[in-house]
Amino acid sequence: MPLATQVIGLTGGVGMGKSTAADFFRAGGAQVVDTDVIARELVQPGQPALAEIQNAFGLEVISADGRLRRDKLADIVFADSAARRRLEQILHPEIRRRWQAQLETWRKQNCPLAVVVIPLLFETGAETYFDKIVCVACSAETQRERLRARGWSDRQIIQRIAAQMPVEEKLARSDFVVWTEGRLENHRRQVERILVALNQGTVGFGAERAGVD
């Protein structure tokens, strides 16, 4: 009889290392679906969600070639919580439908481990869909340095951090924590220890934290 697929939710604050952790999980044999990638697919020209966004926020968020002006939309939604909720109402149901469909495909293929990267995992009430939750985190100083390296202004950084649940609460509600300061090798080893624990099935819910080397 095939083993059931273990489904892991991967979350964390903006700029704290989710994509890197996802790469390490993938390298360790897990199937990975990233909701940020799904979101980008949903707003490509010709997609129904892009038309809804245009109707909700106006032509100013659409470029001359019909593509979404992400910077303009971000300026609107991160300055206005009601606008952000409107955008989430457009995107989140379809994002969830797609990652759940992907999980169902992997279950039918008897994949042993699947990881869903969801920045707003707790904020959207998605925790009940996962067997375990992994949260990546770093210091506030490092987070801001990483976001400045993306070209974000201090105002943009403050707005985006404020739009998410405090990372301390995410850490407290997660089963595993990966601390992403320092060398990438430390990051990788922490993910590898989580993979070992998951494969052995030795970790009780809410009982373990990956250590920092």
Calculate the alpha carbon distances from 164 to 6, 71, 93 in Å.
26, 18, 18
pLDDT reported for residue 4: 83
CATH code: domain of residue 111: 3.40.50.300
Q: Tell me, yes or no, whether 66 lies in a domain.
A: no
Does the pTM surpass 0.85? The reply is: yes
CA distances from 123 to 144, 159, 164, 183 (A): 21, 16, 7, 30
More confident residue, 210 or 149: 149
Return the SS3 of 10. Answer: strand
Range of the domain at 187: 6-37+98-200
Averaged pLDDT of the chain: 92
The whole-number pLDDT of residue 189 equals 96
**Per-residue pLDDT band at 200 (split at 50, 70, 90):** confident
In a domain, 86, yes or no: no
Report yes or no on 139 lying in a domain. Answer: yes
Return the percentage of the chain with pLDDT > 90, whole number. 91
Residue 123 lies in a domain: yes
Q: Looking at the domain assignment, is residue 210 inside a domain? A: no
Give the three-class secondary structure for 111.
coil
Average pLDDT over residues 1-18: 88
Looking at per-residue pLDDT, the higher value among 4 and 99 belongs to 99
Q: Are the CB atoms for 112 and 3 separated by under 8 Å?
A: yes
Nearest residue to 25 (alpha-carbon basis) of 211, 209, 199:
199
pLDDT at 201 over 70: no
In-domain check, residue 195: yes
Domain total in the chain: 1
pLDDT digits (tens, 9 = 90+) for 95-136: 999 999 999 999 999 999 999 999 999 999 999 999 999 999
User: 92 CB contacts (<8 Å, ≥6 apart)?
Assistant: 124
Does 207 have pLDDT greater than 60? no
How many residues does the structure list for the chain? 213
- pLDDT of 5 above 70: yes
